[in-house]
Structure formats: structure tokens, C-alpha cells
Amino acid sequence: MKKLTRVLAALMALTMMGTLAACGSSDDSKAESLAAESHYKENDEVAVDASLVDDMVKNDPDIKGQTIYWLADYDINPVNNQDRSVALTLFEDKYGAKVEYVSCTSDTKFDTLASRILGGDPVDMFPYEWDAVPNGVTKDQYQPLDDYLDLSDDIWSDMSDVINMFEYQGKHYVVPYCLSDPLLITYSRSLCEENGLDDPYELYKKDKWDWDTFMDMMKTFVSNASNGETRYGINGWFGQAMVQSTGQAFVTYDGTKFSNNINNSAIEEAENTMEEIMKLGMYDPTWYGYLPDDGSTLFFGMADWALGTSNVKNDPNPEVNDDGFVEEGDLMIVPFPKQPGSDEYYLNCNFGAKMLVKGSDKGDAVAAYIKCERLAAMIDDYQDAAKEKAIIPQKTAAGKLKSYVTEEQYDALQDYKDPGKITPVFDFGYGMGSRMYGDGEYTYETRGVMNNLTSALLNGEKDSWAVLRDEWASVIDEVIDGYNSK
């Protein structure tokens, strides 16, 4: 039963992460709804002064009157009485173009995309997902944006390193305009204090938040348990973020060919750390959508979507200031700790991006929309307005508090999503089809290689990184050889 619980918990974590990473595939429609709500929470009902971008768009191609067909399982036009997002407002008001939504489900979107491309039905823009590069490109689903976006423009300077991570065969099919859904650790400051532990956020600011400190804190917390009390060091989505906190990827790309990096020593150290966590019984595989509120768990690993609910579960009566928001609270968030001796923190996250569909003749219009997303993400006035909305506590129709983010948490989150402060990691292995990344029937034998490499130790399906690595190294070689020959 314990093994089954772990497998089910890992399955739920995977399906949620696929959505919360907004670029990974997922079959969990509820998670997708939550992610969409989170997106609109940050971007809707913002007073938009479109004149702020006049100088930035004045020399762009004239696309007035054009319509781009957006195929996805969510609409970027206003729904459920929402206002227009900043990006859509700029696109419509400054460019005079519009977006028409072509609806599909998460399960059918790729089939729908393929049938529309083959049938000649209009489709211009599609959500970025991890499978886009190289798999989607080699399947002729997308076309590069280089002819339509001027990536030397200053608006892209802060994202240039991130954009270049995705360059494939000398082209930019994916042009991220922001980082999104970072994998973070949520914790209770009071719980740390009660157990004589330092505040991880203070350690992070002092550049002392590393694996050694992380492990010592969990060991101390678990050892402080009273007789009969069960304690855990960490719960939630963990393995992928732990591996990527090394800054290493399982599959690397030098601009011409892919290579298998599974034998990297930093990855081995991360996997061995997970192995130790599991052997010490410090990982709780139970699925929660929030930091457990019973004091049993020190750290909770999950994307930022879970923060609002975690706050309410752990502090349902926060102190609200005269402006109607919570300035500080007991819970706080930090990135996953860095590898001891590393000079920087690395972030497991998703990337805000849209794909230009193969065969579309609306390249200029799709590029204009992507540019609007970038402008919305970088202009201070838009971001200040987005913050003002994001930190307003959310309540049910009956007036019950259901979610809130403190001002301190929000400011920290923006820092974590700044590639100038933390380096995001992208692994091409997640874009190499279902053999590399897919849940199958969610067994060790049918799961994707990337899934197993980051979850099998925590699931208890394997108890040795050496064995796990040796079982899948040849499969990675086979898959990347196939892409190198294309």
C-alpha cells in the first residue's frame, strides 16, 4: 500500500507539474484551470496606458485588421467577465489586430493542431510546451520567429541568454518573454524558529542557502519529533528541481548535436542527495496542494500557484493593512538550494512563450503579439499595476478568504523570476517525445526516461542512482542519436 501511495502521489505531482510548468503536457484539467486563473490574476483588470509603448511599436509592420487564430485549451481573450490582459490590450489598441480562439482540450490539442495544418484550416499561434523543441519542430509543427522578431531590440536584452538556450539548428522557434511557474520551497518561519533553525530566506540573502544547510535543517527537524510523532523534511514536487539546481541538464546541445550528460558528476551528487533523503525517511510522498498545516513537514516543494492556498491553510486570519493586503506573513518562499561551492542559484521553471505554427502566413502578427507579452512583462507601470492586483486577498462569493499572497512574497517571487538574479535551466530531454518525457500508464517500465530519472528514487522504485542511471543511459543515447540524424 505504501508503494502504491507513492506512485499515485508521484502521478498527481507529475500531472500538476506539467500544467503548472505551463509548458509541460498534462491531462489534469483542474490544474490547467488553476494555472489559467493564476495567469489572469496577474494580468487582468490592470489600467493600461497603451501610449507607453508608442515609440517601441511605431516602426513595426502594419498588421491592422489582421486576425490570428489561437489554438489552445484556454482563451487569451477575456472570459468570465475578465478584463483584457495587458498584452491583448496592446495588441488590439496599438496594432489594430485581434485574436480568434480555436478551442480544443488538453488531450486533443496536438491532434487538432496536426489536422488543421494538414487540412489547411487557419491556425497561427499555439502554446509553447516542452515538447516543442526539438520534437515539435522535427514534426513540422512550427516555424522560426527570426524573420519576424528583432531579437537585437533592447526589449529582449534581459531575456537574451534565456532565448539563446532554446536556439535549435541556428533558429529561434521559442522566444520566451518571461519566466513563469518557478519551482520553489515554501516553509513556516515560526516552525523553523520553534526548532532552532535559521530562516532559509535570510540564508538565501546571505548566499548561504545550499544543500548542506538544507539537509542539516531537515535532519534536525525530523530528529526533534516527539515520541509517536511523524515528521518529514520535505513534501511536494522535488526531484526535477533538485537535479536542475545543479545547473546541469540530462541532455545538452552544442548548436549542432545533442549529447547524453547523465554521467555528469553534479547530477550524480544531486541524485545521491535524493537517495539519502529517501533512505532517511525524510520525504513524504503524500499529495498536498499546499504546505501541510499540521506542523509535520518542514519544506514544501511546488510552483508558486500553491502559495496562496498555503497561506490560507496555515494562517487563515492574516493581519490586513489599511490598503487591504497582507504585508508579511509566517510563510515564506525560497528557490531550491544551490549545490555547495556553486557561485549561483539555478531555477527549475517554465517559460512564457507562444509558437508560430508551420504554414501560417501571419508571422508578423504572431510576432507582434509575442512582443506585446514582452512589453507587458517588462514595463514598470504595467508591473506595478499587476502587483497591486495580485496582492489583494481573494475571497469566495460568501466572503470567505480563499487565497492571498503577501507583499513580501510577491516581491521575492519577482526576484526569483528575474534571469539576471537566478539562472533558469532548460533540458532538451523534455522535448524529445513521450519516450523521454511522458507518464504512459505511470509505471516504472512505461514512464518517460526523464520522469524516472527525477522520481524513481523518491517513489521507492529504485534505491540506487547507479542502478537507475545504468538502466536508462542507453535509451537516452538511442533517442538523441535519432534527433542528431535529422
pLDDT tens digits, one per residue of 331-341: 999 999 999 99
Give the pLDDT confidence score for residue 83 in this predicted structure: 85
Q: What is the mean pLDDT of residues 6-28?
A: 36
* Domains in the chain: boundaries: 45-179+351-384, 183-348+391-486
183-348+391-486 matches 45-179+351-384 in CATH topology: yes
The pLDDT-based confidence of 47 (bands split at 50, 70, 90) is low
Tell me how far CA of residue 419 lies from CA of 93, 173, 399, in angstroms: 30, 20, 38
The pLDDT-based confidence of 32 (bands split at 50, 70, 90) is very low
- Asked if residue 1 has pLDDT above 60, the reply is no
Give the pLDDT confidence score for residue 16 in this predicted structure: 36
Domain 183-348+391-486 has CATH 3.40.50.20: no
For residue 381, the one-letter residue type is D
Global pTM? 0.90
Domain 45-179+351-384 has CATH 3.40.50.1110: no
Q: Which residues of 96-120 are buried (b: 16+ CB within 10 A; e: fewer)?
A: ebebeebebebeebbebbeebbeee
Q: What is the mean pLDDT of residues 112-134?
A: 96
What is 145-189 written as a DSSP string? Answer: STTT--TTSGGGGGGHHHHHHT-BTTB-S---SEEES-EEEEEEH
State the cell numbers at 364: 508578423
Q: What are 236-260's pLDDT values in tens digits? A: 999 999 999 999 999 999 999 999 9
The pLDDT-based confidence of 114 (bands split at 50, 70, 90) is very high
Task: Name the nearest CA neighbour of 309 among 290, 286, 296.
Answer: 290
Q: What are 310-362's pLDDT values in tens digits? A: 999 999 999 999 999 999 999 999 999 999 999 999 999 999 999 999 999 99
- Asked if residue 22 has pLDDT above 60, the reply is no
State the cell numbers at 245: 539546481
- Asked if residue 17 has pLDDT above 60, the reply is no
Give the pLDDT confidence score for residue 24 in this predicted structure: 34
SS3 315: coil
Residue 266, φ and ψ in degrees, nearest 5? -65, -40
Percent of the chain with pLDDT over 70: 90
Give the integer Cα–Cα distance in Å for 387 and 47.
12
